[in-house]
Amino acid sequence: MKTILALREAECAWVRDAFPCVHPLLLPICNKPFIEFLIDFAILVGSPAVRILGDGELDAVERYCENGSRWGIDISYANMQTGDSVETMLGKNRRFCDKERVMMVSGFSFVRYDKRRDYKSLAGSMPEGEWVAGPGGSITLFGAPEKPEAQAADAPLSLMALDGMASYYRASMEALETGADRYVLPGYGGEPGCAIGRNVVMSKSVEIRKPVSIGNNVQLLGDAIIGPSAIIGSNVIIDRESTVESSIVFDNTYIGEQLEVIGRIASGNRLSDPVSGVAVTMEDPHLLSGIRKSEALGALPRKIVHALGALILIVLLAVPFLVVSTLLRLGGGWRSATGDYLSGKSGETISLGKVEPDAANALDTIASTLSLDRYPWLFRVLTAELALIGSTPLPAETQHPNAPANALAYRPGVFSYAEAEQWPATGGDAAIVERYHLVHSGPISDIGLVVKAFVNRPHEKTTP
């Protein structure tokens, strides 16, 4: 049996209006893209191949799902016309169908299924025709049954139309409450009702009230209350003394200090009431804002200020660097090695020299006090390969949760925000400081943090 997933833009137009940066098929339900629930159901009925049809663009979906290898099935894509009938869609995709039995899922509806049940036997034995239907879509079987009718098959199946923000909110909360019993949901957790992703850093005073679902690369700061019934996306910061209850927080969102988000959907700087559909746009970025990606962090004013700061340091430290580094090299106390580090642009690397002066002599004390081991990196600020202050550069040879492809914000710098605040230059706790400043800091405040990092670095034992 093969599966066809057919979606018309008119059926999900509200998603484009409410969440313009999210493709409807990638709309997250309990931190899992909607399309993955459909793929999981196709796998449950025994489909080795899935064809996704749409009368709009599918580029974002294709980039996410690719060829389906991560699920062990084949996924392909095709366009359809808005007015195409079921028969027309089957005719246009007859080579895909290849005379096999076909299940067509049409419409924008959440499929309520139970992963513990045997849908494969049931789907293979049911007669041709409509399996289940609802206001928002249907599931229909085409072709002769593959096996005799299953006896007393008990596999509940229904559809919930996703026709607006209210139904989307209900589907998300229902998936959260039923949890991993019925669906395959992302995250790790040793206890029911608590699914937590990778690289989640939370203060000891954070209170978690189940059920909750928390994505990847999330910071929960002091005295925050999460739950019950809270869905926190990836690349999110919940600031101090804030509460998120019965709410959905989308990816790349910052919740400011001492805020109560109850029964709402937060996406970037937009806060929506799922019942009334009323949305409020927050003008104050310290209350609610979208977390900028690394490309946004490289705005022209920041580059100019960082370059000027680097140029000043290059001039001031030129003579000390030439004298001290030369003397240390002559004495064998200036050990350097070149390594590849992750660039601020996903998929790219930069080569940086890492210096480890010998800590046993006075010259090294001078080198450490003046941060001369970072002097060569200052020239990379002039070429915009590094920021003057930003994230700790991450080695390229290993996958890291703070990498540009994964992290909410990453911009490698000569100095790091963690060094400025005297946090360890590595480790999960440092990520809180770095990402907090990547959200809050501006070009001018960065200069003050550079001074703090310059003063604090001599107290460290090693360079990053």
CATH number at residue 93: 3.90.550.10
Is 121 inside a domain boundary? yes
CATH number of the domain residue 281 falls in: 2.160.10.10
Q: Does residue 312 share a domain with residue 227? A: no
Rounded CA-CA distance 311/212 in Å is: 48
> Looking at residue 307, what is its pLDDT?
93
Is 183 inside a domain boundary? no
Q: What is the dihedral of CA 28, 32, 37, 40, to 10 degrees?
A: 160
Q: Does residue 206 share a domain with residue 130? A: no
Containing structural domain, residue 108: 2-163
Is 328 inside a domain boundary? yes
> Looking at residue 109, what is its pLDDT?
96
Q: Does residue 302 share a domain with residue 283? A: no
DSSP state of 370: T
Is 187 inside a domain boundary? no
Residues sharing a CB contact under 8 Å with residue 176, sequence separation 6 or more, in sequence order: 30, 211, 212, 213, 229, 231
Query: C-alpha distances in angstroms, 160 versus 12, 109, 116, 182?
Result: 13, 5, 20, 15
Please name which of 351, 364, 415 lies closest in space to residue 388, comparing C-alpha atoms.
415
Report the domain count for the chain.
Answer: 3
Among 274, 291, 308, the domain-final residue is 291
Please name which of 56, 75, 57, 55 lies closest in space to residue 65, comparing C-alpha atoms.
75
Rounded CA-CA distance 114/175 in Å is: 11
Query: C-alpha distances in angstroms, 93 versus 11, 54, 56, 76, 80?
Result: 21, 13, 17, 11, 10
Is 178 inside a domain boundary? no
Among 262, 291, 320, the domain-final residue is 291
Which tokens sit at 82?
């808005």
| Residue 379: strand, helix, or coil | helix
Question: Is residue 305 within 8 Å of residue 387, measured between CB atoms?
Answer: no
> Looking at residue 114, what is its pLDDT?
93
Q: Does residue 215 share a domain with residue 94? A: no
pTM, entire model: 0.70
> Looking at residue 273, what is its pLDDT?
94
pLDDT along the chain (464 residues), means of 10: 95 92 94 97 96 95 95 96 93 92 96 93 90 93 80 76 96 90 83 86 92 91 94 90 96 87 91 89 61 53 91 94 87 79 80 73 81 91 92 71 49 86 54 67 86 74 44
Question: Is residue 39 within 8 Å of residue 71, measured between CB atoms?
Answer: yes
Is 242 inside a domain boundary? yes
- Enumerate the β-bridge partners of residue 5: 52, 105
Among 291, 307, 324, the domain-final residue is 291
Q: Does residue 142 share a domain with residue 76? A: yes
Q: Does residue 152 share a domain with residue 255? A: no
Residues sharing a CB contact under 8 Å with residue 4, sequence separation 6 or more, in sequence order: 50, 51, 53, 89, 90, 93, 96, 97, 102, 103, 104, 105
Q: Does residue 67 share a domain with residue 18? A: yes
One-letter identity of residue 95: R
User: Which residue is listed with tokens 């049996």?
Assistant: 1
Residues sharing a CB contact under 8 Å with residue 335, sequence separation 6 or more, in sequence order: 355, 356, 357, 358
Q: Does residue 442 share a domain with residue 414? A: yes
Q: Is 183 buried (19+), middle (13-18) or exposed (0-12) by CB count in 10 A? A: buried
Q: Does residue 287 share a domain with residue 223? A: yes
Residues sharing a CB contact under 8 Å with residue 443, sequence separation 6 or more, in sequence order: 301, 302, 304, 305, 306
Is 157 inside a domain boundary? yes
Beta strands 225-226 and 243-245 are parallel
Rounded CA-CA distance 214/226 in Å is: 9
Q: Does residue 331 share a domain with residue 226? A: no
Q: Does residue 323 share a domain with residue 243? A: no
Is 168 inside a domain boundary? no
Q: Does residue 310 share a domain with residue 284? A: no
Rounded CA-CA distance 51/78 in Å is: 7
Query: C-alpha distances in angstroms, 332 versus 149, 361, 366, 377?
Result: 82, 11, 16, 21
